[in-house]
C-alpha cells in the first residue's frame, strides 16, 4: 500500500530531508500536498520534482508567482491561510509538520483535528500550546510522532516502557558554536558565527537557538508535553559529538540511550516507517571506533542564560513558555538582522517573561488563545527592541 505524505515547511531543512527520504522509497510513499512560506520558485520546483498534488504558500502575495511557476503542471495550488488549510485538508496518511516558528501552530493543529498521524518537527506547537495540542491529539485520535532528534531518541529508548518507571529523561546538546567561548567573546558574536553549527545542518532560526541553548530549553518544554513528564525529571547534558541524543534513566539504575549519526533523516525515517525500519541511502553509518570518544559536560547557564530562562518558564508553566517563545522569535530575527548583540536575545526574552508573568499565568486553552498571546508579546517585544540596542 502506498502512503500519502503531506509536508508543511516542505522547502526547509526538515522538509528537504523528508523529500530526500521519500524519493528513496517511491514504492512506499507518494507526496500529497506541499506547503511553504513565501518562496514560490522553490515550492513550485519541489512540487514538480516530488509529483505533489497540491502546493500552497502562506504568503498570499506570492500566489501569482506560484501559479505561474506551476502552469501546465497539473498541480493545484493556492496562497494564503485558507490555501494552507486546504493543503492540510488533502487526503494524507502522514503529515510532516516542519514549518518553523509559531507560524506552524495553525496548520499543525489542523492536521491533528483531522486525526492525521503527525510527524512533528515544529516544536513551537508544543512550546506555545502544549497542553491544548496533547489534549486534542487524544481527542481527535491523532498520533504525534516526534521528529526532533532528542525526542525521537527518547521515544525509541522508552519503547513500551512506562514513564512512571522513569527516574529521569536527559536530552543532549551539542553545545553549539560557542561551547568553549568566553562570555566576552559570545557577547561580540556575529550572526554568521552563531549560525555555524558544529554538528547539524539546519534552518537559520534553529541554528541561532542552538547557539544560545534556547533550543534545548524549547526541547525540555517539548519533552514535558510529549512524554507527560514533570520538569524536575528532565535534564540537559552537553555532548559535543551529537551521537547520543537522548537517555532514559530507569528507576532501577539502568539507562537506555538513543544513538545515531547527527542526520535528521534518521528520526524522520523512524516516524515515516510507522513501526517498520526504512533504509537510508547515502546515510553514514555510526562508526563508534572512528568517533573514538564520546564526551559529556554540564551545561553552563551563566554563559547561556536562555537555558536558565527556559527552565524557569517550564517550571512556571501556564503561558510562560508561550510568552518566552514569542519574545525569542522577535529577538532572534533582530539578532540575525544585526540589530541587537547576542546577549540582547536573552535580555529581551527575560524582560518579556517578567513583564507578562502575571498577565498570562494560565496555559492557553487553544491555538487561537496561544496565537493571541504570541501576537501581543511580539508587538511588545518589537517595541522594546530599540532599548536593547543600547
Return the residue matching grid coordinates 520534482: 49
- 88, 95, 99, 244: residue in contact with ligand NDP (rule CB under 6 A): 99
* 3-class SS of residue 256: strand
User: From residue 330, how far is each of 71, 160, 374 by CA, in Å?
Assistant: 36, 39, 10
Phi then psi dihedrals of residue 76, to 5 deg: -70, 150
Rounded Cα distance between 83 and 148, Å, is 27
Contact region with ligand NDP (CB under 6 A), list: 69-77, 94-102, 226-234, 326-334:
94-102
| Ordered strands of the 94-97 beta sheet | 76-79, 54-57, 29-36, 3-8, 94-97, 117-120, 144-146
Q: Based on C-alpha coordinates, what's the Rg of the chain? A: 20
Binding residues among 19-38 for ligand NDP as defined by CB under 6 A: 35-38
User: Contact between 44 and ligand NDP (CB under 6 A)?
Assistant: no
Task: Produce one character per residue of 328-347: b if its CB has 16 or more CB atoms within 10 Å, e if not.
Answer: bbbbbbbbbeeebbbbbbbb
Judged by beta carbon, residue 44 or residue 99, the one nearer ligand NDP is 99
- 94, 119, 124, 329: residue in contact with ligand NDP (rule CB under 6 A): 124
- Find residue 33's DSSP bridge partners: 54
Phi then psi dihedrals of residue 171, to 5 deg: -110, 150
Among candidate residues 138, 152, 136, the one with its CA nearest the CA of residue 222: 152
Judged by beta carbon, residue 58 or residue 70, the one nearer ligand NDP is 58
Among candidate residues 104, 120, 106, the one with its CA nearest the CA of residue 37: 104
- Please enumerate in sequence order all residues whose Cβ is within 8 A of that of 386, keeping only pairs 6 or more positions apart, or say none: none
User: Contact between 193 and ligand NDP (CB under 6 A)?
Assistant: no
Q: Which does 14 bind (CB under 5 to 8 A by kind): ligand NDP, Mg ion, none?
A: ligand NDP
Which grid cell is 58? 502562506
Would you give the binding string for Mg ion spanning residues 133-152, x where CB under 5 A is met?
---------------xxx--
- Find residue 255's DSSP bridge partners: 249
Q: How far is the CB of 324 from Mg ion (least distance, A)?
A: 17
Which grid cell is 123? 516544536
Binding residues among 127-166 for ligand NDP as defined by CB under 6 A: 148
Judged by beta carbon, residue 146 or residue 305, the one nearer ligand NDP is 146
Q: Which does 181 bind (CB under 5 to 8 A by kind): Mg ion, ligand NDP, none?
A: none
Strand segments, DSSP code E, in the chain are: 3-8, 29-36, 54-57, 76-79, 94-97, 117-120, 144-146, 166-173, 234-238, 244-250, 255-259
Q: Which does 325 bind (CB under 5 to 8 A by kind): ligand NDP, Mg ion, none?
A: none
Question: How many residues does the structure list for the chain?
Answer: 390
Would you give the binding string for ligand NDP spanning residues 250-289, x where CB under 6 A is met?
--------------x-------------------------
User: Contact between 209 and Mg ion (CB under 5 A)?
Assistant: no
User: Contact between 122 and ligand NDP (CB under 6 A)?
Assistant: yes
What is the total count of residues that contact ligand NDP (CB under 6 A)? 30
Is residue 47 within 8 Å of 36, Cβ to Cβ? no
Binding residues among 35-54 for Mg ion as defined by CB under 5 A: none
User: Contact between 210 and ligand NDP (CB under 6 A)?
Assistant: no
Would you give the binding string for ligand NDP spanning residues 216-255, x where CB under 6 A is met?
----------------------------------------
Judged by beta carbon, residue 5 or residue 388, the one nearer ligand NDP is 5
Rounded to the nearest 5 degrees, what angle is found at the Cα of 118, between the Cα atoms of 112 and 122? 95
User: Contact between 13 and ligand NDP (CB under 6 A)?
Assistant: yes
User: Contact between 11 and ligand NDP (CB under 6 A)?
Assistant: yes
Residue numbers of the site for Mg ion (CB under 5 A)?
A: 148-150
Residue numbers of the site for ligand NDP (CB under 6 A)?
A: 9-15, 35-39, 58, 84, 98-100, 103-104, 121-124, 148, 200, 202-203, 205-206, 264
Amino acid at each position: 500500500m502506498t502512503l500519502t505524505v503531506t509536508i508543511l515547511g516542505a522547502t526547509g531543512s526538515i522538509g528537504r530531508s523528508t523529500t530526500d527520504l521519500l524519493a528513496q522509497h517511491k514504492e512506499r510513499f507518494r507526496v500529497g500536498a506541499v506547503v511553504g512560506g513565501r518562496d514560490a520558485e522553490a515550492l513550485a520546483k519541489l512540487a514538480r520534482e516530488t509529483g505533489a498534488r497540491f502546493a500552497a504558500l502562506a504568503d498570499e502575495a506570492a500566489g501569482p508567482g506560484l501559479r505561474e511557476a506551476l502552469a501546465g503542471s497539473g498541480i493545484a495550488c493556492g496562497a494564503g491561510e485558507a490555501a494552507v488549510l486546504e493543503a492540510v485538508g488533502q487526503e494524507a496518511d502522514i503529515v510532516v509538520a516542519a514549518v518553523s516558528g509559531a507560524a506552524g501552530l495553525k496548520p499543525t493543529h489542523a492536521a491533528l483535528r483531522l486525526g492525521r498521524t503527525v510527524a512533528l518537527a515544529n516544536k513551537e506547537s508544543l512550546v506555545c500550546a502544549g497542553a491544548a495540542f496533547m489534549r486534542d491529539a487524544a481527542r481527535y485520535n491523532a498520533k504525534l510522532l516526534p521528529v526532533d532528534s532528542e525526542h525521537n531518541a527518547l521515544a525509541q529508548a522508552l519503547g513500551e516502557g512506562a514513564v512512571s518507571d522513569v527516574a529521569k529523561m536527559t536530552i543532549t546538546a551539542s553545545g553549539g558554536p560557542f561551547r568553549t567561548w568566553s562570555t566576552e567573546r559570545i557577547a561580540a558574536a556575529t550572526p554568521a558565527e552563531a549560525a555555524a553549527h558544529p554538528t547539524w545542518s539546519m534552518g537559520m532560526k534553529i541554528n541561532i537557538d542552538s547557539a544560545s541553548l534556547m533550543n534545548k530549553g524549547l526541547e525540555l518544554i517539548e519533552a514535558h508535553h510529549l512524554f507527560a513528564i514533570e520538569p524536575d525529571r528532565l535534564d540537559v547534558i552537553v555532548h559535543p559529538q551529537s551521537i547520543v541524543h537522548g537517555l532514559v534513566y530507569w528507576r532501577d539504575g539502568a539507562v537506555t540511550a538513543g544513538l545515531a549519526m547527527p542526520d535528521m533523516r534518521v528520526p524522520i525515517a523512524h516516524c515515516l516507517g510507522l513501526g517498520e525500519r526504512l533504509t537510508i541511502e547515502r546515510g553514514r553509518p555510526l562508526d563508534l571506533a572512528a568517533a573514538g570518544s564520546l564526551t559529556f559536560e554540564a551545561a553552563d547557564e551563566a554563559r547561556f542564560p536562555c537555558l536558565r530562562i527556559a527552565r524557569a518558564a517550564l517550571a512556571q508553566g501556564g503561558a510562560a513558555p508561550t510568552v518566552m517563545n514569542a519574545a525569542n522569535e522577535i529577538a532572534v530575527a533582530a539578532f540575525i538582522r544585526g540589530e541587537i548583540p547576542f546577549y540582547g536575545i536573552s535580555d529581551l526574552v527575560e524582560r518579556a517573561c517578567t513583564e507578562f508573568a502575571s498577565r498570562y499565568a494560565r496555559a492557553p486553552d487553544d491555538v487561537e488563545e496561544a496565537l493571541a498571546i504570541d501576537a501581543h508579546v511580539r508587538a511588545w517585544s518589537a517595541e522594546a527592541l530599540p532599548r536593547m540596542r543600547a
